[in-house]
Amino acid sequence: MTGITDLAAWHELAAHHADLEGTSTRDLFDEDPDRFRDFSLEAAGLFLDYSKNRLTRETVKRLLDFARDSGVEVMRERMFTGERINTTEDRAVLHVALRNRANRPIHVDGEDVMPAVNDVLARMRRFSERVRSGDWTGHTGRPITDVVNIGIGGSDLGPAMVVRALDPYTRADLRPHFVSNVDGTHLAEVLRRVDPETTLFIVASKTFTTQETLTNAHSARAWLVDRLGDEAAVARHFVAVSTNAEKVRDFGIDTDHMFEFWDWVGGRFSLWSAIGLPIAVAVGMDNFEALLAGAHEMDEHFRTADMGANMPVLLALVGFWNIMFEGAGAHAVLPYDQMLERLPAYLQQAEMESNGKRTTRDGTLVTWPTAPVLFGEPGTNGQHAFYQLIHQGTRLVACDFLAPAQSHNPLGDHHEKLLANVIAQTKALMRGRSESQARAELEGEGHDAAGVARLVQHKTFPGDRPTNTILFRKLDPHTLGALIALYEHRIFVQGVLWRVNSFDQWGVELGKQLARPILGELKGDREPDPDDDASTRGLVAVLKRWREGGDDG
């Protein structure tokens, strides 16, 4: 595989970046009346403005050359046609098949996956409609009022984010809950609020071996059997979503009540599969299918639009530019929509588990930065928390601002105020405030020369903080699907540019492995490992002493 620095296009980009030295984004706007028009585009109901990044037409052209020479189009084709591009796990990567509403055949090892995809969707429809209509009842014959999804990572974050985002489409008499953390508090707090007779548990785990999920599922099952006094109740109150029928059976869930998906669906890309069952139950299957349709529209755009007019490609390239040349080490996702409050958490896994890598697809170590640290909060809360660092700190944070033109909850002038803040923040981050402007402002406020000198640097903003603005009409299921797919494809393109495999996650394994013997030590089943470092031994000892109620002595 050609390394980044082996490509002529890379060196041309680097030379071009040096030529931009001393040019500010503000200069670029002043020089170019068409900048907004030419650095924005619309696709699948989303509008992207990327003009407030420090780049020019030539930058975009050179980035596109670099993307082509890096094989973005070839890899995209390989993904959409079911090749095993997840090479370290020898798997295809086909979340796009799950929302392939055109039903175009997609083959894995010569077999079209679409009949199986459609079959599971049909089962999800039947089941969700039964729960929603009250036809599916609990063990004592009462309809379901609470649905508890037990899963973690990709088996939690996607459905939890979507159910929150589609809150206006949910029903007050069918309450969704999500339990992920192995901290018993998480489960206990939900169980305290639900009635065992009317609660349905969805145990969601691709592998059905994940410690947290299995622990929570066993505890939930024990609670249910204890409260209803009958082991047989499990059949009416537990269903599973998994690729592992054998483990589901071992747990005691009849595989008739299991919704299947496949190894070519990555955990963090799985909300479109049966992992979306809690979404279908919460908002109805028609809305779940509208979510799929929105994602499919973005997939088609990504697959067919010219690279230079391709929203995920451009978003990826702008991010790549900011990280590789401008020095951005962090990426803030800032949804100005309260219902997208879980989007940053969802994208943390999507982005950092996918591209938080240091090894190329060839198995050599990278010599360039890869995924940024991703974080975020809904606006305007973030403004009163961490935006200070983004405006005036010493680290460059690239930002995505997201906002709906219309609110689901129109209330006085709240929404106009919210939107005004979005635009003002991107303007402030781009333009900043020069020292002379700050000085003039202070003088206008009546400060004497000493006061001006004391405050002027504190009031100066460097500007040139790169931002994208993503607008949509209203947060409906279709739009949300398109938005999530946009981010998925941005992650895919950046993975190709960085030469990493975006679809494995070996980095999460070591901690899991090391937890096993430590668990044994905490439970007293095994002696402390004398070869362990002093901190590990010391922390285990303190916890054991304190758990046994001992003093510090």
Phi first, then psi: what are they for 524, rounded to 5°? 85, 10
- Quickly list DSSP for 32-43: -TTHHHHTEEEE
Nearer to ligand F6P, 346 or 401 (CB): 346
Gap between the Cα atoms of 447 and 294, Å rounded? 55
- 297, 300, 353, 521: which is the annotated catalytic residue? 353
Asked whether the beta carbons of 439 and 403 are under 8 A apart, the reply is: no
- Quickly list DSSP for 183-214: SHHHHHHHHHHS-GGGEEEEEE-SSS--HHHH
Q: Does 479 bind ligand F6P (CB under 6 A)?
A: no
Binder of ligand F6P out of 43, 152, 163, 418 (CB under 6 A): 152
Q: Does 199 bind ligand F6P (CB under 6 A)?
A: no
Nearer to ligand F6P, 207 or 338 (CB): 207
What is the smallest separation between the CB atom of 146 and ligand F6P, expressed in angstroms? 22
What is the smallest separation between the CB atom of 177 and ligand F6P, expressed in angstroms? 18
- 384, 414, 417, 427: which is the annotated catalytic residue? 384
Binder of ligand F6P out of 198, 213, 370, 494 (CB under 6 A): 213
SS3 at position 454: helix
CB atoms within 10 A of CB 375: 18
Only segment of 204-212, 225-233, 457-465, 482-490 that touches ligand F6P (CB under 6 A): 204-212
Q: Does 159 bind ligand F6P (CB under 6 A)?
A: no
What is the smallest separation between the CB atom of 207 and ligand F6P, expressed in angstroms? 3
Q: Does 149 bind ligand F6P (CB under 6 A)?
A: no
Nearer to ligand F6P, 352 or 438 (CB): 352
Gap between the Cα atoms of 269 and 282, Å rounded? 20
* Tokens 């939690």 -> residue: 156
- Quickly list DSSP for 234-260: HHHHEEEEES-HHHHHHHT--GGGEEE
Is residue 512 part of the annotated active site? The answer reads: yes
Is residue 384 part of the annotated active site? The answer reads: yes
Asked whether the beta carbons of 357 and 370 are under 8 A apart, the reply is: yes
User: Taking Cα atoms as reference points, which of 262, 274, 315 lies closest to residue 489?
Assistant: 315
Residues 6+ apart with CB under 8 A from 489: 298, 299, 302, 312, 313, 316
Residues β-bridged to residue 469? 49, 401
Q: Does 357 bind ligand F6P (CB under 6 A)?
A: no
Residues 237-296 that bind ligand F6P (CB under 6 A): 267-268
Residues 505-524 that bind ligand F6P (CB under 6 A): 505, 508
Only segment of 20-28, 202-210, 376-384, 442-450 that touches ligand F6P (CB under 6 A): 202-210
Is residue 544 part of the annotated active site? The answer reads: no
What is the smallest separation between the CB atom of 505 and ligand F6P, expressed in angstroms? 5
Q: Does 216 bind ligand F6P (CB under 6 A)?
A: no
Question: Applying CB under 6 A, which residues contact ligand F6P?
Answer: 152-155, 205-207, 210, 213, 267-268, 353, 505, 508
Residues recognised as catalytic: 353, 384, 512
